[in-house]
Amino acid sequence: MMKTTASLKPAEVEKKWIVIDAKDAVVGRLASFIAMRLRGKHRPDYTPHVDCGDFVVVTNVDKVKLTGRKLQNKIYYWHTGHPGGVKQRTAGQILDGKYPERVLEKAVERMLPKESPLARKQLTHLRVYTGEAHPHEAQNPETIAFADLNAKNVRSA
């Protein structure tokens, strides 16, 4: 019987690579699943101050779905740095634009701890691609069927 809690050390961590197909997946559910895998909270030996998460590769990000009226009503704001330089775009405009992967990247980023060097490092382990192909076949990634985990994870319309 152990009387102490086992704590991982950075040298003891074994990182895996996983691939998720985001076609028709609901953005919020997918982002929370990815954030959990990036932090390592799915592991029984999770240690909060150690980067023990996996590398996550997401494909077909341009085909994600938003529930409700978020395509029209969800607004992303940013500031250019100049006076009166507040800009905005809806989620639908971003998904139809040049970089549709930013919707999922921002959702995952906002589910990680704020202002943390560890969270910034964990976010670099997220690889997002708009098509089926990705250049990470050499890492022998494990494919996770996100759509099969729960019926609510996927929207057809």
From 18, 61, 7, 48, select the one nearest 149 (Cα to Cα).
18
Tokens encoding 142: 């494990």
Angstrom distance (rounded) from CA 120 to CA 133: 25
Site of tokens 């978020």: 70
Report pLDDT digits (tens) over 97-117: 999 999 999 999 999 999 899
Report pLDDT digits (tens) over 68-77: 999 999 999 9
Crossing angle of helices 27-39 and 102-109, in 10° steps, is: 50
pTM of the model: 0.93
Give the containing element (helix H, strand E) for 40: none
Q: Does the pLDDT at position 157 exceed 70?
A: no
